[in-house]
Amino acid sequence: MKLCPHLLPPLLLGLLAAVPAWAVRDPFWPIGYVPVSERKIDPPPKQEVAPTPEPPKPEPPKPEPTASEDDWAKARKALTISGVTRAVSPDTHVERSLVMVNRQLLAEGDTASFVYQGFRFKWRVASISDKDVKLEPLNAERVAQKAPALKQ
C-alpha cells in the first residue's frame, strides 16, 4: 500500500489531537473523574417565580371602651375617705388641709388614683372642707390584666 503525501498531514494532526488528552490525565485520578475545568456545566433551568401574595393587612386596633358616667359613680363610691385634718405650720402660721383617701394623705391639687373594674380612675382633690371633699375626675384608662400566678 502506498501512502499518499496529501493524506499524511491530516492523519498526523488527528493523532496529535488525541494524544494530549490522554497524556495530560493524572494517573491517580479515579476512573471516570473529570476535572472541574473540563466539566460541561449546564446552567440550571430558569424557574418562573410566582409573585408572592401580600400578607393581609392587620386590622386597626379596636377602640378601647371608655368608662361611662355610671362607672365613674361606682368608682367614686368605692373610694374610702377616712378623714380630714388641718395642720398649722409653727414657723409660717400657714394652715394646710389634708384628706386621707384610700390610706393616702392628699392635699388640695394632689391626684388620687384607684383601680376599679379594669380601669384606673384618677381624680384631683379640688377642695377640702370640714364636712366635704370635692374630687374632680381627670381620666380613666384601661388596665392590662395580669396573668394569674401558677401554684406549684
For residue 94, tell me if it sits in a domain: yes
Is pLDDT of 19 > 80? no
Confidence of residue 130 (pLDDT cuts 50, 70, 90): confident
Inside any domain, residue 88: yes
End-to-end CA distance of the chain: 106
The rounded distance, in Å, linking the Cα atoms of 39 and 102 is 86
81 located within any domain = yes
Q: What is the pLDDT of residue 152?
A: 61
Burial string for 95-131 (b: 16+ CB within 10 Å, else e) reads eebbbebeeeebeeeeebebebeebebebebeebeee
What pLDDT score was predicted for residue 132? 86
Q: Decide: 31 and 104 in contact? Cβ < 8 Å.
A: no
Give the pLDDT mean for 111-124: 90
CB atoms closer than 10 angstroms to residue 74: 14
Asked if residue 29 belongs to a domain, the reply is no
As for how many domains the chain has, the answer is 1
- Whether 91 is covered by a domain: the verdict is yes
Which residue segment(s) compose the domain that 136 sits in?
69-142
Share of the chain above pLDDT 70, in %: 84
Does a structural domain hold residue 27? no
Report yes or no on 75 lying in a domain.
Answer: yes
